[in-house]
Each structure stands twice: as C-alpha cells, then as structure tokens.
Amino acid sequence: MNIAAAANETLAHNSNVLVYSAMAIYTLAFVAHMAEWVFGSRSKVGRTAAALTAQATAAAPARADRQGGGTAVLERPKVITKTAAGSRDVPDGPGAAGGTEKGDLYGRIAISLTVLAWALHVGGVVTRALSVQRAPWGNMYEFSTTFAAVAVGVYLLLLTLRKNVRWIGLPLITTVLLDLGLAVTVLYTASDQLVPALHSYWLWIHVSCAILSGAVLYLGAVATLLFLFRDRYEAKLADPAGKQPGAFAASVLERLPSAASLDKFAYRVNATVFPLWTFTIIAGAIWAEAAWGRYWGWDPKEVWSFITWVAYACYLHARATAGWKGRKAAWLGLIAFACYLFNYYGVNIFVTGLHSYAGV
C-alpha cells in the first residue's frame, strides 16, 4: 500500500512567493499596457476606418445615378471595414506597428514584463506540484493559478507566432490579476495530498485538457466582447445622420482591430479548441467509470460541462447560419463562456457533487 508523502513546506512556501512576485510584475505590465493605450496612437485599422468614413461622407452628395426623367438618386455612403493589414487575421492593436514610437515602446515594455511575470508564475505552479509530487490542479486555488498561467502562455505563443494580438494584452492582464487575487485570498488551500479517488493518471489528462480548453475559450470570449463594442462603434460611424460615438468611446474603440477581424479571431479560436473540450468531457466520463463505477451519473459538474458543450455547439452552428452571424452569434458565444465559468465557480462553491473540490 502506497502512503502519500507529506507536503514539502519549503517548496510550498517558495511557490507562494513566486505567485505573489508574479502578481507584482503583472501589475507593472498592466500599468505599461495602460500607458500604451493612453500614449500610443490609434491602430491602422482605426485610422483607415475613420478616413474611409470621412471620404465616403464627403463623396456621397456627388455620387448619383440618373433614372427615368433625369432624377438623381443619392446613395447612402458605405463604410468599408476591411482591415488595413489586408489578409492578416488580426491587424495592429494600440501602439503596434504603424502606431506612435512612444506607444510602441510602452507596448514592448508591457510584453517584456508579461514574459517575466509569466516565468515567475509558471515557477510558482511547478514548485507547487513538486511540493506534493502530483499535478498542480487538485483544488480551486491550484486550478485558478494554473489556468491563468496557461492563458498568458497561449497569448505569448500567439505573439511568438507573429499574430498581432497585442490588443488583448490589457484585458488579459487585468483578468489574470483578478483571478490570482481571488485565488490567493478566497480560494487559497494549503499544499496537501489528494483524496485516493483522484490518484489517477486521468487527473493529468482530463483536468489539463479542461484548463487548456478554458484558457483558449477565455481568449475567444474577450475577442467576442470587444467585437460587440467595436461593431456598435462601426455602425455609428456608418450612419452620419445618427448619433455619433462620444470622444472617449472613439479614443478607445478606434485602437481595436476591426469588428470583422475580432469576430473572425473569436470564431477561429473557439472552433479550434471545441474538439479538445469534447475530448475533455469524454475523458471525464472514462475517469468517472474507473472511480465511481459509471460513465455518467448526472453529477452537477457533468451536467454543466455538457451544457457548456451544447452552448458552444450552438455558437459554432450559429456562426455558420446566415441569419445568426454577427451580434446574435456573439451573444451565444458569451453565454457559452458564462456556462464554463459557472461550471467552475458556481458548481464548485454552491453545489455539492462527487468532485472532491465541490463546495470549496
């Protein structure tokens, strides 16, 4: 009979120190991202959209087609929202290439600080795992810290692959700080061994897939939310006779990629990770059979995992349906991610189930 070793308190303490150090550096990165948005010029997409709007508005009265008895029919100006970066998926964000030199400097500082904070963050997750010689996601505190590290890692990977996603840096770092703050205060659990039922290699497979899926779905949710704001902003620009965006809204939203680019980015990341989320549910069912003797028992965690799967399936289907593209599909995407969040926080805290960390 194997007896689990006691937690290594020194490594557990070092893990806490690394996580707090990462939070301090993330805070500096947040400040640098704010400086990039304040001092950097608007994106090339914003400048192009504004220029095209002005040109279309000025040219509208001069454009007329003669029909019947020489009556001139004026056409409503159309705003072209094609990205300034051409065929690239996601164009420049605030202060990126084509922005001001000062804004770009703050942006590079923010990325450098994010990389440093992420290295400390990963160090905290790894030392937590070493302190108990197991996967570092056995409770809500460990899941939260690992989830945040994976989300930042995916973001940095996209930057490494030369994807222009620096626009997501500010909301990402903001939510990472909130997540870690909640983890170290409300959700903190001392380093300890797991209950016997969780001593399985499926802990590495099932939960790691859930974390990776959630991290990518989070990036898709941020892009979807920003799409809704940007789409409304572009709609107001396209209607010169209607209410125009305020100065503050314009100064912020014109720094984002076009609504079409944001929508495409959200759809692609959600569609890419959906098969992994499907596998996560299947792996959980297999593990449930090994641990509890049945594949599916309508446990609250199982139910909400399935609800989340159905919600994202509806979103992907809506994106492919003509009448549901755009804002309707975007709302479905946000509802789907809300289901994921409730599956994690709501079910674990407010609903008692077979999962060991329910009710934490």
| Residue 247 maps to a domain | yes
Among 15-24, 42-51, 331-340, which stretch is predicted with the lowest mean pLDDT?
Answer: 42-51
Domain co-membership, 332 together with 237: yes
Residues forming beta bridges with residue 154, ordered by sequence position: none
Domain co-membership, 259 together with 155: no
Structure confidence at residue 359 as a pLDDT band (50, 70, 90): very low
Domain co-membership, 297 together with 337: yes
Q: What is the pLDDT of residue 89?
A: 39
Q: What is the pLDDT of residue 287?
A: 87
Domain co-membership, 171 together with 28: yes
Residue 242 structural domain: 194-360
| Residue 252 maps to a domain | yes
Domain boundary among 139, 162, 182: 182
| Residue 57 maps to a domain | no
Domain co-membership, 110 together with 213: no
Structure confidence at residue 332 as a pLDDT band (50, 70, 90): very high
Q: What is the pLDDT of residue 183?
A: 93
| Residue 73 maps to a domain | no
| Residue 67 maps to a domain | no
What pTM was estimated for this model as a whole? 0.80
| Residue 54 maps to a domain | no
| Residue 189 maps to a domain | no
Across 123-135, average pLDDT: 91
Among 13-17, 69-73, 262-266, 278-282, which stretch is predicted with the lowest mean pLDDT?
Answer: 69-73
Q: How far apart are CA 146 and CA 261, in angstroms?
A: 29
Q: What domain count does the chain have?
A: 2
Domain co-membership, 144 together with 202: no
Q: What is the pLDDT of residue 96?
A: 40
Domain boundary among 161, 182, 203: 182
Domain co-membership, 198 together with 297: yes
| Residue 301 maps to a domain | yes
Domain co-membership, 22 together with 152: yes
Domain co-membership, 144 together with 283: no
Domain boundary among 139, 158, 182: 182
Domain co-membership, 323 together with 278: yes
Domain co-membership, 236 together with 357: yes
Domain co-membership, 16 together with 154: yes
